[in-house]
Amino acid sequence: MMESDERRALSAMMEQGSLLPIDRKRLSAPGIRTFLAIADQWLLTEDQRRKVLGSPAPSTYRRWRREASNGLSFSLSLDVLARLSNLLGIHAALSQLFTEQRLAVEWMHSPHAAPPFDGQSPLDLMTTGHLDGLMATRRFLAAAQQGLYVLPNAIDVDSTPYTEEEIQIR
């Protein structure tokens, strides 16, 4: 996985829009290696992996994978690096919100009624090929981390809402 300092540097530079060519070259191979590890954890198909990365040609995707695995240096576009930055944020949020990786993977593959998913899974939204799907998923999880949206759990299944008579303000 990408070192935490490199992850923070990538996120900070992407937010500031100050990613120099030398930084792109330095972060591209570790970014792809980290992406591949996360994609393995999330059980992504090769087609889903390519869509998350912006739908590069299969030969381009295989070249990135091969060069990153062999420790070779190459430069990804700012678009692909922005996708990797969002993916790292999603992965970090899932790690904080779920106690087990299995639960995070189930969440990624399950349909959700909450906006922005509207009945589709987060993975479906993230694999539209558009950066917006990754960004929307990352924002949703950031809100969940801050308590702005709480993911339903087992206790919520059988709960009933309070009636007005049960609510007392003193």
Q: Return the half-sphere exposure (C-beta side, CA atoms, 13 A cut-off) of residue 110.
A: 10
pTM: 0.77
Q: Which two tokens stand for residue 27?
A: 């972060």
Residue 66 has pLDDT above 60, yes or no: yes
The pLDDT of residue 93: 96
Share of the chain above pLDDT 70, in %: 84
Report whether pLDDT(156) > 90.
Answer: no
The predicted-structure confidence for 6-44, as pLDDT tens digits, reads as follows 555 555 555 555 678 898 999 999 999 999 999 999 999
Q: Given this model, what pLDDT does residue 45 score?
A: 97
